[in-house]
Structure 1
Amino acid sequence: MIDTPAARTARCIVLLVPALLLGGAYVSQYVFGLYPCEMCWWQRYPHFAALALALLAFIAPPQRLWIALAALAIIASGLIGLFHAGVEYHWWQGITGCAAIPSASEGGSALDAIMNTPLVRCDEAAWRLFGISLAGYNFLISSAAGIAAISLLAKKGKRA
């Protein structure tokens, strides 16, 4: 059982941060038309894992372990975001010929999927605010949240 207010806060961080970041990613994709490239998807996968681990922290012992693993997954997404931002800023090369990956919809053909998928390059930021791309914001938010959760877990405090 979670025994300190700091650990309870860490548990909330590891649940809310990936949920909000994934929600933002899907809103930007489906509402604003900012289609994800391959590296954008790579950043989402650790957040999916973090959500599952955070949910485990609410229902199964050892809760502190699930929180720590979720925090590490969030940090992993942030590090992928740093790599992706570096590719976007042309600090280094990406490791693939990165573009959006089309998939055939139900009843559609693979050729139609390929022809109707917008080309999304990993080395061009689709959107920036104050010169920072979405990958850069993922790095900043995920790294800070993951480090905060781990720091809170390490904190000694009164048991509730």
Structure 2
Amino acid sequence: MQAVARFLAVPRRVALAVFAAAAATIAGAYFFEYVLRLPPCDLCLMQRVPYYAAMPLAVLLALLPARPPALRVAGYGLGLVAAIFLVGAALAGYHAGVEWALWQGPGGCTGAIAAPAGMGDFLKSLETVRVVRCDQAAWRFLGLSLAGWNVLISLAIAAVAGLGARAALTRG
């Protein structure tokens, strides 16, 4: 437990760990998309936004000096990163709930698809429409879809960032 406390006491380490975990998660998402050919739905793409917002912030926080004025900035910055990942966990939880049919998802990627008016309209729509359903999990491991795993990953990253923020603000 002391090793964890020592790790969390250095905002630079926490920021780099957050960046590494976020980058690994995004790399995993790209692996599923481009290597395993599992195209993401609209909600999947929306879940990436917190990662894209937090990763550059984590890099900037890692560059701050470990002196008292900068420690406060690092603490508040890590708090912001924690909040970003809590939003990400909420988005992923919403998506997982849509997959488990706990609630209705957005109309653009769930529910019935309207029939085209005619054959010409149908052929025209095939050229432009690519619908990946948000309410059907493309892959599951240990009973959790990618959205379910993202809930856990986002909560873990938020916890690390939040504990790092508290440690930095206590020291700074």
How would you bin the TM-score normalised by the shorter chain? 0.7 to 0.9
Aligned mate of 1:121, from 115, 128, 133 = 133
Contact 1:14/1:149 (8 A) holds in 2: yes
- Between structure 1 and structure 2, the one with the greater Rg is 2
Structure 1: segments with no counterpart, 5+ residues: 100-109
Distance 1:49 1:156 in 2: 21
| Residue 32 to residue 113, structure 1, CA distance change in 2 (3 Å) | farther
CA drift at 1:155: 3.2
| Residue 93 to residue 144, structure 1, CA distance change in 2 (3 Å) | same
When normalised by structure 1's length, the TM-score is 0.78
Q: Is 1:149 aligned with 2:161?
A: yes
Deviating 4+ runs (over 3 angstroms): 110-113, 155-159
Q: Is 1:84 aligned with 2:88?
A: no
Q: For residue 78 of structure 2, what is the aligned residue in structure 1?
A: 67
Moved more, 133-142 or 90-99: 90-99
Deviations 1:79-110 (A, max 9, x none): 100000000000111133227xxxxxxxxxx9
Deviations 1:25-69 (A, max 9, x none): 011100000101000011001100001111111235522222222
Distance 2:61 2:52 in 1: 14
SS in 2 for 1:155: helix
Q: For residue 93 of structure 1, what is the aligned residue in structure 2?
A: 104
| Residue 123 to residue 28, structure 1, CA distance change in 2 (3 Å) | same
RMSD over aligned Cα atoms: 2.6
Q: For residue 116 of structure 2, what is the aligned residue in structure 1?
A: none
Aligned mate of 1:48, from 33, 39, 52 = 52
Q: For residue 119 of structure 2, what is the aligned residue in structure 1?
A: none
Q: For residue 106 of structure 1, what is the aligned residue in structure 2?
A: none
Distance 1:5 1:130 in 2: 30
Q: For residue 102 of structure 1, what is the aligned residue in structure 2?
A: none
Aligned length: 144
Q: For residue 103 of structure 1, what is the aligned residue in structure 2?
A: none
Q: For residue 105 of structure 1, what is the aligned residue in structure 2?
A: none
Q: Is 1:140 aligned with 2:152?
A: yes
Distance 2:24 2:50 in 1: 14
Q: Aligned partner of 1:82: which letter?
A: G
Contact 2:77/2:165 (8 A) holds in 1: no
SS in 1 for 2:104: coil
SS in 1 for 2:132: coil
Contact 2:89/2:151 (8 A) holds in 1: yes
Structure 2: segments with no counterpart, 5+ residues: 1-5, 65-69, 111-123
Q: Aligned partner of 1:47: which letter?
A: Y
Q: State, as a whole percentage, how many aligned pairs show the same letter.
A: 36
Distance 1:9 1:78 in 2: 22
